[in-house]
Homo-oligomer: A and B are copies of this chain.
Amino acid sequence: MSAFDPHCSVPIALGERSYAIRIGNRLLADAAAYQAVPSGGQALIVTNTTVAPLYADKLAGALQSRHASVQTLVLPDGEKYKTWETLNLIFDQLLGQGADRKTTLYALGGGVVGDMTGFAAACYMRGVPFVQVPTTLLAQVDSSVGGKTAINHPLGKNMIGAFYQPLAVVCDLDALRTLPARELSAGLAEVIKYGPIADMAFFAWLEAHVDALRACDTKALAHAVQRSCEIKAEVVGQDEREAGLRAILNFGHTFGHAIEAGMGYGTWLHGEGVGAGMVMAAELSHALGLVDAAFVQRLRRLIERAGLPTRGAVIDSADNAGRYLQLMRVDKKAEGGEIRFVVIDGPGRAVVRRAPDELVRQVIEKCCV
């Protein structure tokens, strides 16, 4: 393989639920990419109105030889559709086509499609096999890996869901070429995240390659996706059900979720919320005396170069910090009404801890002007 035809496989070690993430170009339409899926039975491809015209036929073609029938269900596109009503469309389709327990679901799209399809697979007849075919950078480096599935509730993001592992994840780097620049930047937020929490050498590599990544350089993308998946695989392998360590993968997400919810889902992309949220979490780490101002500035600079917001949104003009705190108290990491933040405990290392409301208020005021 040449340097421009990179292929690799990242194993996720979870005992009998282990699987591999395949990363490369020209994978999506390659029947061999799906060899981990038992053949026979029906297949249902779940995708959305944006992705379907680009890739649904290609994927269906690759699956023809493996399944007795291949159906496609096209959902509306966007975070605001990550609801029970949309999830029910998947169940209606499955029951309508007489899908049994051997039916395999394929999630073809970004994080929303992956989270909903995975949750549908977890629940349909109490569990059917599924495969992630992520077509966004965010999904390839984060949401399709590790088995977290969910839908949103009007009172909180990802509140209803399951830990449910796919049989395989197939990351086709070519799919990233059709991604709008804004979506690519949003995906970079989840890539950047892995630096401060786990690997500052990777962070330095990102500083050197962020322009190449935004220009969709395949070699750079291949490395970014692979290293991100490796770090995530290591964390998830140690703590599949988020009893402790896994929470560090939510660096920037506590503030970010508040922005997403406060602005109304879909106004800010998830990755945009995480971008600004990482700056806020880094400022909080600094306010707690854990990192110096230079580290915060270095992180802010990379987030900015990735094309992401570095300031939080004003989500309530009367009491902005109060509204953030209110929304963050329903975060899944909160316990007994106390918010638990992922903070940077020195570059390359994250911990989960509480922080005084007053300090959090100051950070919000500083970051949202």
7 A-B pairs with the lowest CB-CB distances in the bound complex, closest first = A95-B155, A125-B332, A126-B161, A123-B160, A100-B335, A100-B334, A126-B163
Question: Is the Cβ of A125 less than 8 Å from the Cβ of B163?
Answer: no
Q: Is the CB of B68 within 8 A of A336?
A: yes
> Nearest chain B CB to A244's CB is how many angstroms away?
12
20 contacts across the A-B interface (CB closer than 8 A): A84-B84, A91-B153, A92-B155, A95-B153, A95-B156, A98-B329, A100-B332, A100-B337, A102-B335, A122-B162, A123-B123, A123-B160, A123-B161, A123-B162, A124-B160, A125-B161, A126-B161, A126-B162, A126-B163, A162-B162
| Measured CA separation A159–B332 after assembly (Å) | 27
Q: Quick check: B101 and A332 within 8 Å, CB to CB?
A: yes
Interface size class of A (residues with CB under 8 A): 35 or more
Chain A 227-258 against B: per-residue CB contact (8 Å), 1 yes, 0 no?
00000000000000110000000000000000
* Residues A154-171 near B (CB distance < 8 A): 155-156, 159-163
Asked whether, in the complex, the Cβ of B162 is within 8 Å of the Cβ of A96, the reply is: no
Find out whether the CB atom of A127 lies under 8 angstroms from the CB atom of B336: no
Q: Chain A interface (Cβ within 8 Å of chain B)?
A: 41, 68, 84, 88, 91-92, 95-96, 98, 100-102, 122-127, 148, 150, 153, 155-156, 159-163, 241-242, 329-330, 332, 334-337
Question: Which residue of chain B is the closest to A99 with respect to CB atoms?
Answer: B330
A127 to B335, CA, bound (A): 14
Question: Chain copies in the assembly?
Answer: 2
Contact status of A241 and B127, CB under 8 A, knowing A162-B162, A337-B98: yes
Shortest CB–CB separation between residue A90 and chain B, in angstroms? 10
- Given A127-B241, A330-B98, decide whether A336 and B162 contact each other with a Cβ distance below 8 A: no
**A336-B241 CB under 8 A given contacts A91-B159, A159-B124, A162-B122:** no
Closest residue of chain B to A242 (Cβ to Cβ) is B126
Q: Which residues of the partner chain B approach A126 to less than 8 Å between Cβ atoms?
A: 148, 150, 161-163, 241-242, 332
Would B160 and A91 count as touching, CB distance under 8 A?
yes
Other than the given A41-B336, A125-B159, 6 more pairs (CB < 8 A) read A123-B161, A124-B160, A126-B242, A126-B332, A127-B162, A127-B241
A150 to B124, CA, bound (A): 10
Task: Give chain B residues whose Cβ lies under 8 Å from the Cβ of A127.
Answer: 162-163, 241
| A123-B159 Cα distance, complex, nearest whole Å | 8
A92: chain B residues within 8 A (beta carbon)? 155
- Report chain B residues within 8 Å CB of A155: 92, 95-96
Report the Cα distance A156→B101, complex, angstroms. 14
Q: Please give, as numbers and ranges, the residues of chain B lying within 8 Å of A148 by CB-CB distance.
A: 126
Bound CA–CA A122/B91 (angstroms): 18
With both beta carbons as reference points, the residue of chain B lying nearest to A148 in the complex is identified as B126
The residue on B at minimum CB distance from A333 is B101
Smallest Cβ distance from A39 to chain B, in angstroms?
13
CB contacts (< 8 Å) of A162 on chain B: these are: 122-123, 126-127, 162
Q: How far is the CB of A125 from chain B (nearest CB, A)?
A: 5
A73 smallest CB distance to B (angstroms): 15
Bound-complex Cα distance A153 to B41 (A): 22
- Residues of chain B contacted by A100 (CB below 8 angstroms): 332, 334-337
Q: How far is the CA of A204 from the CA of B9 in the complex (A)?
A: 59
